[in-house]
Amino acid sequence: MSRNTGYDPTYDDYTSEEYPPDWDGRRKEVLARDGYTCRGCGVANTRVDDVYFDVDHVVPKSGGGGHELSNLQTLCPSCHAEKHSDNDDLASRARKWEQRNTRSLAVRLLRVVLVVPVLFGLLSGRSGDSRTIADDHGRELELTAVESVPDLPADRGVTVDVRVATLWDSSAESIQQVGLLAPADSTREDDVTLVKFVVWTGNALPQLRANESYRLVGALTDEYDGDVQLVLDGQSEIRPLA
């Protein structure tokens, strides 16, 4: 069957066992509507972690569900396989997805070889600007220190743990929030590096609260008035820190 690349809102054969001819466009419409976020576990696609989402029928076709947008949802491979536990292909795909950050033996051995120079650097008082973490979705992310953000080039995706130091008022319709960020483990009294940030509207990102701490996944470095700022948009994720 030939496929249309765009979504056709006039298509109404929702009970057909065949996928609609505009399925590719319909899939993109659902992904955009759901903000490229799994409706099951909440994992989001960001510029630092590409998630290969599935578009699933809420009510399966075998149960009478149709192809209308209201019956379609975005699911990550793990949630899709969990919903259809009898589907071996989905189970295999989910296993590959869940193992995407599993390190090979060669990489683990390489880490052992590199541990001595790393320890030497720490003992010499030279702290690194980033470290690798695994989040609650199993994603392996490189966590960048807020202090190093001003020295980074523009157009780079980063993950940072921050405290909202200051929020400014803005009348611009394109701006959801703007202000200054500090390291997450700092206090109001600490003399620390502050980095400007802006959250663009229209991306279903949560509101930040002053003096609260968050993990910003996939923030984009951008130069503004000669200084580097962090931009949060549809390819970013905001998660509160406990």
Would you say residue 18 lies in a domain? no
Within this chain, do residues 135 and 66 fall inside the same structural domain, yes or no? no
pLDDT digits (tens, 9 = 90+) for 117-127: 444 444 443 44
Within this chain, do residues 164 and 195 fall inside the same structural domain, yes or no? yes
Within this chain, do residues 74 and 34 fall inside the same structural domain, yes or no? yes
What's the structural domain count of the chain? 2
Instruction: Kindly indicate the confidence band of residue 25, based on its pLDDT and cuts at 50, 70 and 90.
Output: very high
Q: What is the pLDDT at residue 125?
A: 38
Contacts of 34 (CB under 8 A, 6+ apart): 73, 74
Q: What is the pLDDT at residue 165?
A: 97
Q: What is the pLDDT at residue 35?
A: 85
Would you say residue 17 lies in a domain? no
Region 34-52: what's the mean pLDDT?
Answer: 87
Q: What is the pLDDT at residue 22?
A: 87
Q: Which contacts of 224-228 are long-range, i.e. CB under 8 A and separated by 24 or more positions?
A: 224/196, 227/150, 227/196, 228/149, 228/150, 228/151, 228/152, 228/154, 228/195
pLDDT digits (tens, 9 = 90+) for 170-220: 999 999 999 999 999 999 888 899 999 999 999 889 999 999 999 999 999
Q: Which of 98, 121, 148 is the last residue of a domain?
A: 98
Instruction: Kindly indicate the confidence band of residue 136, based on its pLDDT and cuts at 50, 70 and 90.
Output: confident
Within this chain, do residues 148 and 195 fall inside the same structural domain, yes or no? yes
pLDDT digits (tens, 9 = 90+) for 48-107: 887 889 999 999 888 888 888 999 999 999 999 999 999 999 999 999 888 765 544 444
User: Can you say whether the dihedral through the CA atoms of 118, 123, 128, 130 is positive or negative?
Assistant: positive
Q: Which of 68, 98, 128 is the last residue of a domain?
A: 98
Within this chain, do residues 47 and 65 fall inside the same structural domain, yes or no? yes
Would you say residue 6 lies in a domain? no
Reported pTM: 0.71
Q: What is the pLDDT at residue 15?
A: 65
Which range among 15-19, 22-26, 65-69, 228-232 shows the weakest confidence by mean pLDDT?
15-19
CATH number at residue 218: 2.40.50.140
Domain that holds residue 130: 105-240
Instruction: Kindly indicate the confidence band of residue 10, based on its pLDDT and cuts at 50, 70 and 90.
Output: confident
CATH number at residue 66: 1.10.30
Q: Which of 82, 98, 114 is the last residue of a domain?
A: 98
Q: Is a pLDDT exceeding 90 seen at residue 110?
A: no
Rounded Cα gap, residues 18 and 206, in angstroms: 38
Rounded Cα gap, residues 75 and 67, in angstroms: 16
Within this chain, do residues 42 and 93 fall inside the same structural domain, yes or no? yes
Within this chain, do residues 159 and 129 fall inside the same structural domain, yes or no? yes
Rounded Cα gap, residues 8 and 106, in angstroms: 49
